[in-house]
Chains A and B, each alone.
Chain A
Amino acid sequence: MRTSWSDLRFAAGLARREFQLGVRGPAFWGLSAVGALHALWRATAADTTAALACYQVVQAALIGLGVVAVLFGGAAASRDLQDRSLELVLAKPAGTRPLLVFSRFLGLWFSLLAIVILALVAVLLGQLISGGTPWQFAIYGHALARCLVPLGLAAAIGFALTTIFVSPLAAALAAVYWVAVPLAREHLPSVFDVTVAQHWPMGACFAAALIAFSSHQHGRSIVTGARRGLARFTAALFAGGVYLAIALNAAGTDALTEPDPVLSAISHQTAERGTRAPGFWLPEARGRLVGLDDYAGRRVLFAFWGPTDPASVPVIGALKTLAASYRDRLTCVAVCVDRDSATLSPFAREAGPEVIMLWDRGTHFASGQPWLSSPAATAYAVEQVPSIFLLDRDRTIVQGPVSAEPGVLEAAVARFVGER
């Protein structure tokens, strides 16, 4: 136990210094300034909410900062070579410890998260300035949590490649790859692109495996002994990552993989005005599956929206107002169309319990229009978001798509509820 406490202090001490090394460079402050200004600009835009601004910060972090993380990882791993401190380190009693690499990585990771935190603080300020919803801290926490694994994985890739090939050029190549994957649409999209945020256990396994392997390689020219335990640990983590990747791929709905039969059945229905609305089972924010049958005998306003099209987000506010106005006479359901189920949570929190928030999985990230491939959105032939449908007590489509223009939607709903 005494050893563990000592190890913890060792790791914390080194991580702290590594963090200082990370945050004192001009690159950190340059990126932080760009990130914070971008976040402030987004957070003060018209019709923006904290959830939407945080979503945009996360998206920027996953792609833009992901590239930076790969490069930062490379820089951290090659620091001893660049600063000519390698021999000083290796000649020290703890200079070849695997824990040294882990601690350094931890400091690097925290410095990347600090950039995200500064951007989220800018969102908070922006919301204060524009009179939005600044005090829902869970939304900011959720955004930060979403960046933990992807940034860790990106930094681990840069770190490990630089350690293995003893050149930061390896990290630079990985950074190019990081940019290229989201752009090259049919290239293993469900495993290696930004959905790492959603599939974090897989990302965490790979990141941990990469850092464990870097630890294994650290000081390899002078370390005697095979470090078999560390090698086995690395292999186990890597195998875990591969298993999760295969499982994920098998359960995915991408064109490249086997489609899920239930989702496929949902998408093969047809919605027509005056006919019975297509049914579905979609998860709400906490993962519970919700179907149209759950609202049997009630009038339902059914709105598709997606954070990838920010103009569709204000429909949530409109639904919230309508739900409050027609409390017992209308059920408002907002269907978020996005690749990532975790996107839903902060928007659901912001919307409150009056609006039922569901997730319809969109799969084609590269198209930028996930509703073209989402099962329920496909069934309702959604061509753009927001798309709003009014369903009668017997599940008949009374009207849709209804315009979301302020005044037009309210009038349509008033007519719909008043008529019946």
Chain B
Amino acid sequence: MNGPMTIEIRGLRKVYPGGVVALQGLNLTIPAGIFGLLGPNGSGKTTLMRILATLLEPTAGDVTIGGLDLRREKSAVRELLGYMPQEFGFYPNLTAYETLDYFSLLCRVNDPQERKGRIERALVRANLEDVAGRKVGTFSGGMKQRLGIAQALLNEPELVIVDEPTSGLDPEERIRLRNLLAELAGERIIILSTHIVSDVASTADRLAILHRGVLLFAGPAEDLLTPLRGKTWIVDIADEELTRVREDYFVTGIFRSATGLQVRAVEEEMKHPRGYLAEPTLDDAYVWAMKQKATADADLLV
């Protein structure tokens, strides 16, 4: 393959038996780097991830991964794929090393010496080398997630897909996992699917927002923030003012401050005396994009 890896998705549609439409004609280009896929639960993120991981057959549309047709060249796609699903587990009676040995055999690494080298590299990357001899059944949630990343790296993949990797983790483990993903980026594509905006904000070069199977946005994070520049406000209010502020402005976040509440809002104009302009964040942009979509849907219904 020449040049950095790219994924081209054209007209991708997935309808589950029973008629649930998970993806509605998705068009998306994913270049090398960390790509964040944002969306609420049920937006179609996992469906898209599973299709890209060759585990689900699309109803219609074309996907090429590094020039390979996903429908016809599944085997070749799996050779360059590392996948960590949203929900997964390991065999509790095997140690971390043995688990990775098992999965490296499944990556067709049949030479024991080569397997050993790859396992050790994956353990170091996932910071698990000290617990390599421990049974996976004794691992914490964070350690299991890191082992999940380690198994995805065994075939030195050019495409890494991680679905909701930080859900259920404590803050320290979340940061550790995000740092690990950031380290892995380079010439390869890392697709990070999450409903936690801060995960994407701290790591992704580009992102997409999915909502009910429709793409709301795709591009660099900066492009999502630009329209909100000069429209994002912070308002310092007392607790009793909250209801009125919510009615008057589109609130994207509420935080407690030393003097009362600090509300983030997106509006063209701010009339509140204690409102001042702020730098938009991805949280603001995400909530704003969702609101825009909800408004458009309501208009369609009218």
Task: Take A93-B155, A224-B74 as given contacts and tell me if A87 and B110 are in contact as well, using a CB distance cutoff of 8 Å.
Answer: no
Give the nearest-CB partner of B89 in chain A. Answer: A84
User: Given A222-B54, A222-B57, are A93 and B106 also a contact pair (CB < 8 Å)?
Assistant: yes
Name the B residues within 8 Å of A84 (CB-CB): 87-89
User: Which chain B residue has the least Cβ–Cβ distance from A26?
Assistant: B93
When the two chains form their complex, are residues B101 and A17 in contact, meaning their CB atoms are under 8 A apart?
A: yes
Q: Is B74 in contact with A20, judged by CB distance below 8 angstroms?
A: no
Residues of A contacting B50 with CB < 8 Å? Answer: 87
**A247 to B83 alpha-carbon distance, docked (Å):** 51
**Which A residues, 53 to 98, have Cβ-Cβ distances below 8 Å to chain B?**
79, 83-85, 87-95
B91 touches A94 (CB 8 A): no
Contact A222 B55 (CB under 8 A): yes
**Is B98's CB under 8 angstroms from A20's CB?**
yes
Chain A interface residue count: which class?
A: 20 to 34
Q: A18 to chain B: closest CB distance in Å?
A: 9
Q: How many residues of B contact A (CB 8 A)?
A: 37
Residues of chain A lying within 8 A (CB to CB) of residue B75: 93
Q: How far is the CB of B148 from the nearest CB of chain A, in Å?
A: 8
- Smallest beta-carbon distance B191→chain A, Å: 13
A90 near B55: Cβ-Cβ < 8 Å: yes
- B16 interface residue, CB < 8 Å from A? no
List residues of A (92-151) whose CB comes within 8 Å of B's CBs: 92-95, 100
Contact B106 A6 (CB under 8 A): no
Q: Out of A13, A85, A93, which one reaches B88, CB within 8 Å?
A: A85
B13-59 contacts to A, CB under 8 A, are: 50, 53-57
- Assembly CA distance A255 to B43 (angstroms): 66
Give the complex CA separation of A224 and B79 in angstroms.
Answer: 16
Q: Decide: A14 near B103, CB < 8 A? Known: A91-B78, A222-B57.
A: no
- Distance (Å) between the CB of B207 and the closest chain A CB? 23
CB-CB nearest in chain A for B81: A91
Residues of A near B55 (CB, < 8 A) are 87, 90-91, 222
A321 CA to B172 CA, complexed, in Å: 80
> Which residues does chain B contribute within 8 Å of A6, judged by CB atoms?
110
A91 & B83 in contact (Cβ 8 Å cutoff): yes
**B107, A85: Cβ atoms closer than 8 Å:** no
Residue B85 at the chain A interface, CB threshold 8 Å: yes
Please, could you name 23 A-B residue pairs with CB atoms under 8 Å apart, sorted by A?
Answer: A10-B105, A13-B101, A17-B94, A20-B93, A21-B94, A25-B93, A85-B88, A87-B88, A88-B85, A88-B88, A88-B90, A89-B103, A89-B106, A91-B83, A91-B85, A92-B78, A93-B75, A93-B78, A93-B155, A94-B105, A95-B78, A95-B106, A100-B106
Q: Which residues of A contact B (CB under 8 A)?
A: 6, 9-10, 13-14, 17, 20-21, 24-25, 79, 83-85, 87-95, 100, 222, 224
Seen from chain B, the residues whose Cβ lies within 8 Å of a Cβ on chain A are 50, 53-57, 71, 74-75, 78-79, 81, 83-85, 87-94, 98, 101-103, 105-108, 110-112, 148, 151, 155
